[in-house]
Amino acid sequence: MEIHVAVVGAYGSAGVVVAERLADEPDVELTLIDDGEPGGGLCILDGCMPSKELLTAAERRFAARDDDRLRGEVPDVDIERVIERKDDNVSTYAGGRRSHVEALAEREGVTLRRETAEFLGDRRLAVGDDVLEPDYVVVATGSTPNVPPIPGIEDVPFETSADVLDATEFGESGLVVGLGVIGLELVPYLSEAAGVDLTVVEQLPEALPDADPAFGAELVDYYRDAFDVDVRLDTETRQLAETADGGVRATLAEGDGETTVEADQLFVFTGRKPALDRLGLESTRLTPEPGWVEATMQARDDERVFVVGDANGAEPILHVAKEEGAVAAGNVLRHRDGDPLDPYEPVTHRVVFSGLGDLPYARLGHTATSASEAGVEHVVATREVAGEGVFRSRHYTDGLARLVVGTDGTVLGYQGLHPDADVMAKTMQLAVEMGLDVREIPDRAYHPTTPEIIDGLLGDAAAALDD
């Protein structure tokens, strides 16, 4: 059966996967729609890739400053040069993505529309001067910075993560609202590269809320000590106001009382929200609220609309967006053919480039907390970086790692807050997703490399099983 599929947001990580999977599919007419300028997707333009440019530059300075074996003045970060190189690289990455999508559009049955799409009704789209009525719509419009409704925020100048990625000048002091993933990555950059004296306010009682508590506590202590950041957890920002000199004054609720903090700049790092405002969803049956997208990536209220990536608000992570795109593309075809649809059942896989990427956090699968909550019998092995000779020899003393293993020996989860945890994430993904037995993984580290900590965890977990 011939069908017409429209992908709204074709340049993003999720949308481009849908396009790749359907572009050569027989009997599929494919319309790719994206009005983004210059086009390329969030990760390329304002997310994963440009942020690493900034973090890397600041990490170089931090490494020189933090090592007492080195002498001489600590170098300054040339922020203008950092941003210039970031812009050059982003332009290259985005150009590659655009070229790829444009090449897909040269295939038979595929059309690219560089225009805005708006729903006029259920699966009825206004695109430029045309009205399209595709059989299926895939929404992959990504996300935008979330700005919380704090009283007074509309009257105060503030910077989001997107602004910081372009900024070359900063004030002497700053107030940061939010210590989620964005805050954990950008706070050390502002401190180290820009020299901003920071107060960080987080409403939650701990950082890394999806980790076992020890990891968030370790990271907050590290930020306080290594970057001299005033981190205030379990603190609500109740009121914001602009000061006479253009700065910000914040009224904070801490414990049973209130305090006031003033700073030159306000940074709002309170996550991201689905970019749906311009789609005209009010003209459809679709109601974007918790649970509005099923595990099949279908919208709950319209089985012929699929919502993938950041747009569905479930898990705003790059690799998740790609996987959701692949599931949605396959399920469009299954739905067309009357076959059962596949649910997306991911294994948790997260990496946060905290501590300028020098102390990253990685999680694969279960934490000890989540395993207990799920009623899974398990043992836990934990190691601290300070006790590992290979880390100490490389001038690393902060961090820890943890392995969660089922009582049958199956590796259920790994958490790492230590140098190279991000690099080890793929290895541990294999262990978790393949259900390897901790006692059967070869005990062989290539000394002196940091993955040696994994061998220690494996040995500890195997010993715990024997006990």
pLDDT digits (tens, 9 = 90+) for 412-425: 999 999 999 999 99
Tokens 């109601």, residue located: 287
Give the whole-angstrom CA distance, residue 298 versus residue 294: 5
Q: How far is CA 339 from CA 66, 331, 336, in A?
A: 59, 9, 8
Residue 39 confidence (pLDDT): 78
User: Confidence class of residue 259 from pLDDT cuts 50, 70 and 90?
Assistant: very high
Comparing C-alpha atoms, which of 452, 464, 301, 438 is closest to residue 381? 464
In contact, 2 and 28? CB cutoff 8 Å = yes
Question: Looking at domain 360-466, what is its CATH homologous superfamily?
Answer: FAD/NAD-linked reductase, C-terminal dimerisation domain (3.30.390.30)
Segment 121-137 mean pLDDT? 97
Domain limits, CATH 3.50.50.60, in the chain: 3-145+273-337, 153-270
Residue 444 confidence (pLDDT): 75
Please tell me the pTM assigned to this model: 0.94
Q: Would strands 143-145 and 257-263 be described as parallel, antiparallel, or unpaired?
A: unpaired
In contact, 421 and 361? CB cutoff 8 Å = yes
Residue 45 confidence (pLDDT): 84
In contact, 160 and 147? CB cutoff 8 Å = yes
More confident residue, 42 or 289: 289
pLDDT at 447 over 80: no
Task: Find the length of the chain.
Answer: 467
Residue 55 confidence (pLDDT): 97
Long-range contacts of 179-184 (CB under 8 A, 24+ apart): 179/204, 179/207, 179/231, 179/233, 179/269, 180/269, 180/270, 180/271, 181/271, 181/352, 182/269, 182/270, 182/271, 182/272, 183/269, 184/208, 184/219, 184/352, 184/354, 184/361
User: Confidence class of residue 467 from pLDDT cuts 50, 70 and 90?
Assistant: confident
Comparing C-alpha atoms, which of 261, 244, 159, 156 is closest to residue 201? 261
Comparing C-alpha atoms, which of 2, 22, 26, 4 is closest to residue 14? 22
In contact, 313 and 288? CB cutoff 8 Å = yes
For the chain, report the end-to-end CA distance as a whole number of angstroms. Answer: 60
- Determine the topology of domain 3-145+273-337 in CATH: FAD/NAD(P)-binding domain (3.50.50)
Give alpha helix (H) positions in 78-206: 79-104, 161-164, 181-192
Q: Could you tell me which CATH number the domain at 153-270 has?
A: 3.50.50.60
Residue 357, Ramachandran bin (φ over 0: left; ψ between -120 and 50: alpha; else beta): left
Angle 264-266-271 from CA coordinates, rounded to 5°? 160
166-204 pLDDT, tens digit each: 999 999 999 999 999 999 999 999 999 999 999 999 999
Segment 150-164 mean pLDDT? 96
Residue 181 confidence (pLDDT): 95
